[in-house]
Amino acid sequence: MPMTPQEASKRAREICALAPIVPVLVVQDKAHARPLAEALVAGGLPALEVTLRTPAALEVIAEMAQVPGGVVGAGTLVTPQDVRDAKAAGATFGVSPGATDVLLEACEAEDLPLLAGAATASEAMRLFERGYDMLKFFPAEASGGAPALKAIGAPLPQIGFCPTGGVSPSNAQSYLSLPNVVCAGGSWVAPGDLVVKGDWAGIEALARDASKLAA
């Protein structure tokens, strides 16, 4: 039986509650997958979003899915084929920049919890009406940042958010201090130059700092 939106949202909220920051990862080389995931998990960030923006993304998900303690998801889900590919690779949750009925149906059919994107009150209300109460606020900074998300949260306190897009060490706490924010998505914990150099200790240190942010 397909996963209901309510079940999907409950699971998505549980994953978001694992740590204050969900690393948003753009990984070019499958060889980096396992040590990168190990460093992030060791640093206290177990929920990992691997974006489907590189040719290696599905192989990276498959590698990371084998790392003990990690909860690996696929980001940038746009089509039903993306959903099927991500699930087959080992993703245990999905993240999308927005939401369409076709994409939601595909995730429900594949039993893949989805963190669907919303940037306005109407988008959030439409997803809530369907049964989704844990959403991604995207693009966070371009959509008005923490003040906008605070304003959306006032009339919609039932909905939890993971703001992503422009979140950084300098503004993360302003999001995490909001009552409707469960976690935030950030790419700064795995900068491309450190990944290429294989500086896993450096990445673990960034993850450890991020894990201490208060949600």
Residues designated catalytic: 49, 136
- Let me know how long the chain is: 215
- For 84, the token pair is 């099927």
Adjacency order of strands within the sheet including 21-25? 114-115, 93-95, 71-75, 47-51, 21-25, 184-186
| C-beta of residue 60 within 8 angstroms of C-beta of residue 37 | no
CA atoms within 13 A on the CB side of 2: 9
Concatenate the DSSP letters of all residues of 57-99 into one string. HHHHHHHHTTSTT-EEEEE---SHHHHHHHHHHT-SEEE-SS-
- Distance between CA atoms of residues 208 and 215, nearest Å: 15
E strand map for 39-86 = 47-51, 71-75
Q: How many C-beta neighbours within 10 Å does residue 179 have?
A: 10
